[in-house]
Amino acid sequence: MNFDSTKKKGDFGEQLAVDFLEKKGFKIIEKQYRYGKGELDLIAWHGNTLVFIEVKTRLNLFYGLPEEGITKGKILQIRKTAEAYLHEKAINDTECRFDVVGILKTGEDEYKITHLENAFE
């Protein structure tokens, strides 16, 4: 598949992540939640845990593995956006965690999916 924009590549990767996570028992409740300049790619329930999920898609290893592309600044932005989500939805006393799903193109229509649970505090 050819991607003529970063957004299309990201949307494709997020859909692969949704399919992968749903097979693992995740219930996706939000996609591309935005607050200010921040965005949470996916928000899901996994059992009684609310999970904020960053999806990183790469077409090659030129810049390293997908999950290695999440900077300290991005982590800070994800945390702030997650706090805004919890406040906006009045969610309290709920266990939360941050996961990362890396999508790496390995062939013509083949992708390797890496799921890191509790990727950062």
Please indicate, yes or no, if residue 89 is contained in any of the structural domains. yes
Task: Tell me the average pLDDT across 101-107.
Answer: 92
**Residues in a beta bridge with 114:** 102
Q: Specify the CATH number for the domain of residue 23.
A: 3.40.1350.10
For residue 3, the model assigns a pLDDT of: 62
Task: Tell me the average pLDDT across 24-31.
Answer: 97
How many folded domains does the chain comprise?
A: 1
Contact 53, 100 (CB under 8 A): yes
Q: Which helix (H) or strand (E) holds 81?
A: helix 72-88
Please indicate, yes or no, if residue 1 is contained in any of the structural domains. no
Q: Which helix (H) or strand (E) holds 22?
A: helix 6-23
Determine the Cα–Cα distance for residues 37 and 32; give it in Å rounded to an integer.
12
Determine the Cα–Cα distance for residues 76 and 33; give it in Å rounded to an integer.
16
Please indicate, yes or no, if residue 66 is contained in any of the structural domains. yes
Please indicate, yes or no, if residue 44 is contained in any of the structural domains. yes
Task: Tell me the average pLDDT across 2-16.
Answer: 75
Please indicate, yes or no, if residue 111 is contained in any of the structural domains. yes
* pLDDT band at residue 2 using 50, 70 and 90 as cut-offs: low
This prediction's pTM: 0.92
Determine the Cα–Cα distance for residues 111 and 97; give it in Å rounded to an integer.
25
- Predicted confidence (pLDDT) per residue in 63-90, tens digit: 889 998 899 999 999 999 999 999 999 9
State both tokens at 78. 């994800």
Q: Which domain holds residue 16?
A: 6-120
Please indicate, yes or no, if residue 115 is contained in any of the structural domains. yes
